[in-house]
Amino acid sequence: MKILITGSSGQLGKTLIEDFKNIRNKNQFKIYTPSRKEFNLSSKSDELESFLDKLNPDWVINCAAYTEVDKAEEEQELAYQINSIGPKTISKALERNKGKMIQISTDYVFSGGKGSPYKPYDKLDPISIYGKTKAEGEDYVISKLKERSHIIRVSWLYSSYRKNFLLTMLKLHQVKGVNKETLKIVYDQISCPTSANSLSKFIWKIILSDKKLAPQIMHWSDAGVCSWYDFAFEIGNLALEKGIIKNKALLYPIRSSEYPTKAKRPNFSLLDCTESWDFFDGQIFHWKIALSKVLGNSRRLNIF
C-alpha cells in the first residue's frame, strides 16, 4: 500500500513519519514524503495531478497547508491556492485512481459563536481567511471523493517541532522569566490543545483499520478544555518542574480585544471529539498529560 504524506517537513508530517517507524507490519506499506519543492500545492493543477497519477497512492494524508493565520489575511490568493485548490486537485486525481484521502482541517472553520462544543456536522462559518480557505478545501475534498475522504479537524496543534505555541511559550518563559517580567496572554479564547503525537496515532489507526470505515468528518483534540492563558501557565509550570527552562515568567490574563491581530479568531471553538475517540478505541489523554508527555521528551525540544 502506498501512502503519500504531504507537508512532511511540518510538525504533523514529521510526527507521522516518526510514528510510522513503530508500526507493526510496516513492510506492507511504503510512505512517500515529497518536499514542498517536489510537490508544491501552489503549482499548476496538471503538474500535481500528473505527479499523483504517476505515483498512484492508495492514501494521501494532506498535512501541507498555509498555516500562518494572520498573514493569510494579506496573502489571500496564496492561502486559497494552498488550502482550497491544492486539496481539490489532490482529490481530483484520487477520484480517478480510486485513492483515499485524509484532509487535516481546523477548528477555525467555525466562528466560535455556538457556545457549546462543535459537532462534526455543525455548519461552517469561518471568520478568517485561513478558516475560509480550509473550509473550502474540506468542501472540495468531500464533494469529489465522498466516502473515500476523511476530514479531521483539530484545534491548537503543537509538538516539539517547528513553530507553535508550546515552543514560543517555552522561549518566552525562559527569556522573560530571568527578570520576572510579565507576559500578557489571552484568556477569552477557549478550546483544547492537540498534541501532534496523539493526532498522528489516530491517523495511523484510520489507515491501519482500513476495513472498519472511519466517519467522514471527524474532530480530534486531546481531552479537556482551556484558554491560551491556561495553556501558557501549564507550559511554564511543567517545563520548570522538568528542568527544561530555568525561569518562569509571570502571566497576566488579557482579553482578545487587548491583543489585536490581523485575523479574527473564534472565542469558543472546542471540538466535540466523542465519535473519533470511540473510533480510536485507545487511551485518550487529558491535554495536561499529553503536554507532559511531549515535554518529557525534552531532548527533542529545540527552543534556543
Ligand X SMILES: NC(=O)c1ccc[n+]([C@@H]2O[C@H](COP(=O)([O-])OP(=O)(O)OC[C@H]3O[C@@H](n4cnc5c(N)ncnc54)[C@H](OP(=O)(O)O)[C@@H]3O)[C@@H](O)[C@H]2O)c1
Output DSSP code: residue 37: T
Alpha helix stretches (DSSP H) within the chain? 11-20, 45-55, 76-80, 86-97, 129-145, 165-177, 196-208, 228-241, 274-280, 287-296
Residue type, 254: I
The H or E element spanning position 13 is helix 11-20
Contact residues for ligand X, defined by CB under 6 A: 6-7, 9-13, 36, 39-42, 63-67, 82, 104, 106, 134, 154-157, 162, 164
How many Å apart are CA 166 and CA 160, to the nearest integer?
A: 8
Q: How far is the CB of 24 from ligand X (least distance, A)?
A: 25
Active site residues: 130
Give me the residues paired with residue 250 across strands: 182
Question: In 16-172, which ranges are E strands?
Answer: 30-32, 59-62, 100-106, 149-154, 157-158
Residue nearest to ligand X (CB): 10
Burial class of residue 178 (count of CB atoms within 10 Å of its CB; 0-12, 13-18, 19+): exposed
State in angstroms the smallest separation of the CB of 159 from ligand X.
Answer: 8
In the complex, what is the shortest distance from the CB of residue 43 to ligand X, in angstroms, rounded to a whole number?
8
Closer CB to ligand X, 79 or 284, in the complex: 79
| Shortest spacing between CB 175 and ligand X, in angstroms | 22
Residue 253 is inside which H or E element, if any? Answer: strand 250-254
